[in-house]
Structure 1
């Protein structure tokens, strides 16, 4: 029989399986996992969902259990637009519902990218975005970033050289993987550059609502809705099981994304939209988000303490002010991917840093997610991680 690998399309042959590997560790027995950006199940609104289904589903089955319009239920989009306006200070002119944030990225790629088109990303950045852009055979170029987020001077330099980019992908709030928070000054500079160069900015706001305090900075979309398409998700702020997200952006673009969705899954979950609409109208996020912020702040404090106590000299890490992640950097020459088998033996998991770089050029970093582990688990997990990273090793 012919080797099926020989039949793979060029865009598929080089794709990685890091996301599948991360998801495979959900609830893995005997493992303290710092790998996936999973929300804390303790804050899922289980009682709300149970009561809503028991009391309301019977009369709403024709909506909740049926197909929906491709752009999403009109009533849910109205509720979502109202929530976005309350949170970000502006109501979207054009808004569609997606099956999570990653689908929104896929729709943008399918609609805008031809093979060889240039895409700019932060370095490092979300590995799912790199996979999406690579899957559509884009040329991915990186823009330097630091603890204050993407550097506008580096962006200006990237825009001044090479082909005109089709888009820039950026995570302004508590970035994945570093936890960086784009400064307000840089937000204004970024959108001004986008306007000057006719650049479409894809703003991923997955963690925007999950700062450790109530402080918020203006979304890029609220500053420049003419050049920004915002990608959001309910996976982090409601629960991932609904697989629900949105795209808000220029009115000329969103209808094309809707048409692209007609050729993917046709429509997002009607049940998820019905549930999320009820949650928004009930004010459930007003209760859930403060609890989430307190929970994740406490878990980051536990991780920071554990890293300080157990990591050997030569390692440093970021200090996020929200979100799910910290970024650990070790000595040059360290290969964090090579440590994975022993990490598993020690009962701890993390994600090596290389997949977060376009070109996989950096190997001495790793990402730690603190969102789904308790403070006690974090204390033990960082102890095991310290054993792994120490030059002298050790045994449990």
Structure 2
């Protein structure tokens, strides 16, 4: 028998599977599931999508059922440009936006386009584990920049950049309702961050996956609207439309977007045309704007339930963030290895994501991420209570 593992590339042999376990729980039953950032299926616009799909199949099969250009169907791109312009106050030129197959596709396209082995990539510490693995596949040096209550520590970033012998290639940041911490970058820091990276020639990759899910419906200026010359904004419709369609965008300097489109020709070639046309019709009809308040209200109620349950069951065990939007609460349990705790939690039929995988440079096992997006309010209290029991039930070997 051939040992195929020995024939694999080093990145495949040595790499883990940070998202596989989370995605495996997408449709799990019998589990109080705080793991993945899955939107609630009750929000999927099935009625409107049925009408749109039937219309496209009748009137536009030659486009909707065909291959699409690598940068996206022109009319769908223009619909996205219009929507982003209305929402962020900055309008991309026609050659400054492309359609991607979700947010992670944009990450991998940027990594493939911008990075040579050994290049330095800055990420928030902690940050989205899918981005960490997406960048790591291209053999960069990953450096972490700490977060505080106001988001990315721009002062610490400035010190890092001043001491760097060669400017880092790029900085990846999630400024709105960050994954996993739930924190947002303050408005003052946004301008400071753009100016700092402009001065040092560092490309900002701004991930706005949760920007449109602020519980009060407001949002600070995007980094892209402040500094379109130094920012590539990437986004996804998986959280606010539906994830099965796998659609997102990348918008930034035209010379970068053009190369991202070339890179896409060597990956999946194009995002699905039917999904693009469905989304275009949904945006043009004002249906997404009408849908977002309902989504915000549902997730706001669930975040409040998580906070109340943590106050009831974790007050003496640790600390946690109180997000103003998005899907996640970030919990710190001093002295507890949350990777080991996961097995004990599973015995109580509770699933969450241990924190260590969210750190690119300095792993921290005392944190865990709770996603409240797909678990209903009555189950939240039950799940947090069970998780508290799991923490208390840990043997001395699980504590450092």
* Residue 193 of structure 2 corresponds to residue 190 of structure 1: yes
1:97-156 Cα deviation digits (max 9, x unpaired) = 010000001000000101110000110000001101111001000111112110110110
- In structure 2, the partner of 1:138 is 140
* Aligned mates of 2:255, 2:54 — CA distance in 1: 41
Please give the per-residue CA displacement for 1:288-308, whole angstroms capped at 9, x wherever unaligned: 110111010000011111111
Q: How does 1:93-112 map to 2 (within 5 A)?
A: 93=93, 94-112=96-114
Residue matched to 1:153: 155
Match of 2:227 in 1: 224
- Which of 198, 207, 210 is the matching residue for 1:207? 210
Match of 1:120 among 103, 118, 122: 122
Extract unaligned runs of 5+ from structure 1: none
Distance, in Å, in 1 between the alignment partners of 2:151 and 2:394 is: 35
Pairing 1:293-372 to 2, within 5 Å after superposition: 293-311=296-314, 313-332=316-335, 334-359=336-361, 361-372=363-374
Equivalent pair of 1:312/1:390 in contact (CA under 8 Å)? no
Q: Does 1:167 align with 2:199?
A: no
Q: CA deviation at 1:323?
A: 0.2
Deviates more, 1:316-325 or 1:376-385: 376-385
Give the whole-Å Cα distance in 2 for the aligned partners of 1:204 and 1:54: 33
Give the conservation status (yes or no) of the 8 Å contact 1:353–1:364.
Answer: yes
In the TM superposition, residue 4 of structure 1 has moved relative to its aligned partner by 1.9
Q: How many angstroms does 1:53 deviate by?
A: 2.0
1:240 to 233, 238, 243: 243
Distance 1:278 1:103 in 2: 23
**Mean alpha-carbon deviation: is it higher for 318-327 or for 381-390?**
381-390
Partner of 2:279: 276
Deviation per CA, 1:159-208: give whole Å up to 9, x if none.
11233100000000000000011000000000000111111000000000
Once the two structures are TM-superposed, the CA of residue 312 in structure 1 deviates from its matched residue by 5.3
Q: TM-score, normalised by structure 2?
A: 0.96
Question: Aligned pair count?
Answer: 392
Q: TM-score, normalised by structure 1?
A: 0.97
Deviations 1:206-261 (A, max 9, x none): 00000000221000000000000000100001010100010000111110000000
Query: What do you get for the CA RMSD once the two structures are aligned?
Result: 1.2
1:283 Cα deviation after fit: 0.4
Over 6 Å off, 4+ runs:
none
Which SS does the other structure have where 1:122 is aligned?
Answer: strand
CA–CA distance in structure 2, aligned partners of residues 153 and 54 of structure 1? 53
Residues in 1 aligned to 2:78 and 2:52: alpha-carbon distance in whole angstroms: 20
